Amino acid sequence: MNEQISTADRGAASRMLPLALTLVLGIAVGAAALWLFTDRPAAEPTTEEHANELPAGVVEVPEAAQKNASIEDNKVATTRLPGTLEVTGIVTADESRVAHVRPLAKGVVEKISVSLGSRVTAGQPLLMYDNIELGQLVGDFLTEQSALRQTQTDREVKRTGLARAEALIKIEAIAQQELDLRRAEFRNSEAAVASAEARVSRVEEQLHRFGLTDQDLRALRPDANEAPHRAASHSTLRAPFAGVITKFDVAVGEVVESDKELFTVADISTVWVLADVYEKDIAKITTNGSVTVKVDAYPDRTFTGRITHLSDLIDPATRAAKVRCVVDNRDGALKLDMFAKITLGTVDERQAITVPADAVQQVDNQAVVFVRQSDTRFERKNVQVGRRTGDLVEILGGLADGEMVVGKGSFYLKTALLRERIGDEH
């Protein structure tokens, strides 16, 4: 009996054990979750972390990174700068790079490939027209070629007759008078061939002026199934150089003459900026002096050029002379007839604190430079910028003579500064 009770107790205990284990495990998981999601005070920053914090406007760049970014220091110095004169003007095309395209002869316009304002490359087709004069020349060329072949055939006949006569005279089968006659006939045939060749050459030269090549002329065959002049008389006007179509005056089907200007192509990779200089300031201007140009379309960009001509005429209304400045415009940013503000170099000189143009960057619409503090640290400094002369920029305030600023590589420091600012905001 006791053994039965003990056995029953052991069975009950064995059934309760899994329940107890499950209860203990649940309590442990709950305690862990409570510990994880309970707010705890944040760890205080260490002394080393406090030491690594940088002041506002300071950037730290390791020496290896400086080398990769090609960072170069430049000493702020006082320099003698040429004087300047600020005037206004207009952007115009370089007249030496403006082409007025006209047809070579009278014709009927069949196809137009461009429009006003189109950018074209050198040799690009502008227009195709049926060249009436060219068609007539092609007909003359075929006629003269046919006549040449006839004279060449006649010459060969006369050559054969002369050879036969020379053989017969040796056996006294013909008289000397007959031989002389054959020789005269052969010489006349040679002269006829030379005359025909000259006429063909004259027409060929006229065809070459219309753009036909020797290969084009060889393709002309009088025995072709279709009259060759129907295709050969089509002429194509092409762009003489890369540029922009600034004038367009033609329509398909129009009959055009050689004296009518159909297109104007302007190469604006280099432009003229015509500045107005008052009479009282003319003596200050130096030919071949440097200029800087600014336009409202690009307020943060400065274009550079040089003076190439000072007009000998004074406008009686404005009492100003035109000064021609040649400015590089390879990207086409400057548009014709733009209003421009021009700074001209003058013979006057002045003392000014300058830095390389590469040293000045724009941050938050403020001109800044980076001054070296140590081997790895650079400080941003706001500066007041004056005029630019060549590769130098005048500093009106914010820097002292003798400080070391970063020239080449300053854009890298600007990027690093902005990157740190974004990191702090997050």
Cβ atoms 138, 207 nearer than 8 A: yes
CA distances from 426 to 56, 87, 395, 419, 422 (A): 16, 48, 35, 11, 6
CB atoms within 10 A of CB 254: 14
Are the beta carbons of 336 and 266 closer than 8 angstroms?
yes
Instruction: Give the H/E segment covering residue 85.
Output: strand 77-93
Alpha-carbon span 31 to 408, nearest angstrom? 60
Lookup: tokens for 113: 């490939």
- For every residue of 43-62, DSSP letters joined together read PPPPHHHHHHPPPTTEEE--
Under DSSP, is residue 96 helix (H, G, I), strand (E, B) or coil?
helix
Write the DSSP assignment of 332-380 as a string of letters: --SPTT-EEEEEEEEEEEEEEEEEEGGG-EEETTEEEEEEE-SSSEEEE
Angle between helices 132-170 and 176-209 (to 10 degrees): 160
Find residue 418's DSSP bridge partners: none
Q: Could you read off the pLDDT tens digit of each residue along the chain, which spans 426 residues?
A: 444 444 444 554 455 555 555 554 555 545 544 444 444 444 444 434 434 577 778 888 888 888 888 888 888 888 887 778 889 999 999 999 999 999 988 899 999 999 999 999 999 999 999 888 888 888 888 888 889 999 999 999 999 999 998 888 888 888 889 889 999 999 999 999 999 999 999 988 888 888 778 887 877 765 545 554 456 678 889 999 999 999 999 999 999 998 999 999 999 999 999 999 999 999 888 888 888 899 999 988 889 999 999 999 999 999 999 999 999 999 999 999 999 999 888 877 778 888 888 889 988 888 999 998 888 889 888 998 887 777 888 888 888 888 889 988 888 888 888 887 766 555
Closest CA to 117 of 241, 238, 248: 248
Q: What is the pLDDT of residue 407?
A: 87
What are the pLDDT digits (tens) for 31-49?
544 444 444 444 444 434 4
CA-to-CA dists, residue 314 to 174, 278, 280, 318, 343, angstroms: 92, 9, 11, 8, 20
Cα diameter, the chain:
173
E strand intervals along 102-233: 107-112, 119-120, 125-131
At 160 the pLDDT is 93
Looking at residue 326, its pLDDT comes to 95
